[in-house]
Amino acid sequence: MIDAIRNLGSRGISSVWRAGAMARFFMLILANSGMSFRRFQLTIREIYFAGVMSLVIIMVSGLFIGMVLGLQGFETLQRYNAEETMGVLVALTLLRELGPVVTALLFASRAGSAITAEIGLMKATEQLKAMDMMAIDPMSRVVAPRFWAGAISMPVLAALFSSTGIFGGYLVAILLVGIDSGVFWSNLHAAVDFRYDVLNGIVKSVVFGVAISIIATFEGFDADPTAEGVARATTRTVVTSALTVLLLDLILTGFMLRGD
Amino acid sequence: MSSSPSQSFVEIDNVDFSYGKRAILKGISLNVPKGKVVAIMGGSGCGKTTLLRLIGGQLVPSKGMVRVDGQDIAALDRDGMYAMRRKMGMLFQFGALFTDMSVFDNIAFQLREHTTLPEDMIRDLVLMKLDAVGLRGTAKLFPAELSGGMARRVALARAVALDPMLIMYDEPFAGLDPISLSVVGQTIRKLNNALGATSIVVTHDIVESLQIVDYLYFVSEGRIVGHGSPDEIRNSDEPFIRQFVHAELDGPVPFHYPAGNYHEQLGLAPVRPVTPKGSRP
Ligand SMILES: Nc1ncnc2c1ncn2[C@@H]1O[C@H](COP(=O)(O)OP(=O)(O)O)[C@@H](O)[C@H]1O
Ligand SMILES: [Mg+2]
């Protein structure tokens, strides 16, 4: 019993410690970001790996989730004879919640884990030490471009996810349910508010992108320099990112809800 | 230190280093004269890599001083350190080639990062470095496509990409077949002379070292236990050096890592004292 409490305490302390270390790591990334923008092709290269490689999974998932939302929405809305507002339901759900959150979860497992594994492997094989011996700072050359690539890709991917999702909902509405295309779009247009729906969704996806990119680069840089150390770090990236995204989503949603 | 600083490129003066509580180096002093190839010999785990990282400033001694090109390494700030490292080339124990770049890009890396040379000049320089290690034909390959000996030579070419004044080799001979081994050995000597550089070769390969280096230091249990020119070493009577040179199992270096009583650990009854050789039990 005492042991269990002690265990819990030490886990708690180590989580807090890691969070602090990540915050410091984030500051260090910011301080070493000059090269990521001065030589933007470094960041573009990482955007290609983190972002472009995630395109397919993001768009396919978006399409499916939009279609499912459409079907579920139709099922419920038709009881109130409100099936024509189906587009609104799909769009709001995606823009406010599912777009940023599901994209973040997919992005963490597709790109975040890859970033961790890549940096961890470079550490385990002494590539980072070698670079440091060549008088090139791995923080500037390896870590910061990957961080910025993640932070830039994530909002773009979330926007694509929501767009394909809305298109999926549209397909269901037109082809399966038989709602008029003009009605679908005009309802959607009237109900979606740019400031409260679109912009808040973008804010969320930016915050999630930054969080995942910090976690992924930190875990890679902090990994034990062995094969199993890198494997463990990769798993930690996915788990920590998921929990962090869900917690941040709760907090952000709390702040973003209007009183009306 | 006996020799004057002006002649040495690297001076290590009474240096202590420990990882946590574990003391690795205890009062090491050595000198690497300008233009020479010096070997630092010692068994695995005796702190050879640690010593190179102290010279490169990636580790800081807890006591004593490391001086490179007349400058106290510990006193340099970050920019000073990076300026100093541009004068150094290091061959890492496991190559540490960048796995996401081709052989060509690996060697071009520092040229592109540290110089503003046009790409066609970089191309010529890279091909020259690759030619010096006999691997111009591998420029387009990736590190994963190279054999161990080839990867070692590519790493060697990369270590000298910027024509460093000091080249450090961490176990350049480990795990190589006899032919690759002597190719690497000859290349180390050749590069040192061609660049007018100073070289430190960390190794436990005594046979190859005696052929290519100018001076040798022996490290054991964190201390320098012997040093001399290859001729002096070959004829040395010091027990440690004899053990090392002639690969004797028995000597000052124990075969066993310190451990508890063997029989007790196996759960056996205490045994009678070992009977003398030749006598029947
Ligand atoms: N980062 C480290 N943390 C703790 N101990 C280390 C570390 N690196 C090396 N050691 C230990 O220090 C000793 C010397 O290591 P090293 O310099 O790599 O030896 P060598 O290169 O001579 O084989 C070894 O016993 C090793 O286990
Ligand atoms: Mg070593």
Q: What is the pLDDT of residues A23-58, one digit of tens each?
A: 999 999 999 998 889 999 999 999 999 888 899 999
Could you tell me if residue A214 is inside a domain? yes
- Name the minimum distance, in Å, from the CA of A135 to any CA of chain B: 5
Confidence of residue B281 (pLDDT cuts 50, 70, 90): very low
Of residues A125, A134, A141, nearest to B85 (C-beta): A134
Cα-to-centroid distance, B155 and ligand 1 (Å): 22
Backbone angles phi, psi at B37, to 5 degrees: -110, 120
Can you give the pLDDT at residue B183?
85
Could you tell me if residue A89 is inside a domain? yes
Which of B18, B41, B49 maximizes ligand 1 atoms within 8 Å of its Cβ, making it the mutation to test the pocket?
B49
CB contact under 8 A, B93 and A135: no
Handedness of CA B268, B273, B279, B281 (dihedral sign): negative
- Name the minimum distance, in Å, from the CA of A133 to any CA of chain B: 6
CATH class for the region spanning B35-62+77-254: alpha beta
CB contact under 8 A, B86 and A135: yes
Nearest atom within ligand 1 for CA of residue B48: 22
Could you tell me if residue A106 is inside a domain? yes
Residue with tokens 């808040």: A200
User: Which residue, among B79, B87, B98, B160, would best test binding to A if mutated, counting the most A CBs under 10 Å from its CB?
Assistant: B98
Q: What does the block give as tokens for B86? A: 């541009």
Residue with tokens 């440690």: B240
Can you give the pLDDT at residue B250?
58
Indicate the number of domains in chain A: 1
Can you give the pLDDT at residue B2?
45
Which bound ligand lies closest to the C-alpha atom of B93? 2
**Euclidean distance between CA atoms A219 and A112, whole angstroms:** 10
**Euclidean distance between CA atoms B46 and B77, whole angstroms:** 29
Confidence of residue B1 (pLDDT cuts 50, 70, 90): very low
* Pocket lined around ligand 1, Cβ cut-off 6 Å: B 19, 24, 42, 44-50
Identify which has the larger pLDDT, B1 or B67: B67
Residue with tokens 């840089």: A221
Cα-to-centroid distance, B274 and ligand 1 (Å): 36
Of residues B81, B96, B99, nearest to A129 (C-beta): B96
CB contact under 8 A, B94 and A125: yes
Could you tell me if residue A3 is inside a domain? no
**Euclidean distance between CA atoms B205 and B182, whole angstroms:** 11
Strand order in the sheet with B223-228: B88-91, B166-170, B198-203, B37-41, B215-220, B223-228
Handedness of CA A31, A35, A37, A41 (dihedral sign): negative
Which of B16, B40, B46 maximizes ligand 1 atoms within 8 Å of its Cβ, making it the mutation to test the pocket?
B46
Q: What does the block give as tokens for A6? A: 């002690």
Which residues touch B113 (CB under 8 Å, ≥6 apart)? A134, A136, A141
pLDDT digits (tens, 9 = 90+) for B68-124: 998 999 899 989 999 999 999 999 988 899 999 999 999 999 999 998 999 999 999
CB contact under 8 A, B82 and A129: no
**CA within 13 Å, CB half, B56:** 27
Classify B97 as helix, strand or coil: coil
- Range of A221's domain? 12-258
- Name the minimum distance, in Å, from the CA of B258 to any CA of chain A: 26
Cα-to-centroid distance, B6 and ligand 1 (Å): 31
| For range B41-63, the mean pLDDT | 90
Inform me whether the C-beta atom of residue A78 falls under 8 Å from chain B C-beta atoms: no
Nearest to A157 by CA among A103, A238, A118: A103
Can you give the pLDDT at residue B248?
62
CB contact under 8 A, B110 and A136: yes
Is B256's pLDDT higher than 80?
Answer: no
- Name the minimum distance, in Å, from the CA of A34 to any CA of chain B: 14
Could you tell me if residue A102 is inside a domain? yes
Could you tell me if residue A2 is inside a domain? no
**Euclidean distance between CA atoms B243 and B247, whole angstroms:** 5
| For range A65-87, the mean pLDDT | 88
Q: What does the block give as tokens for B194? A: 């061609």
Nearest to A111 by CA among A121, A100, A103: A103
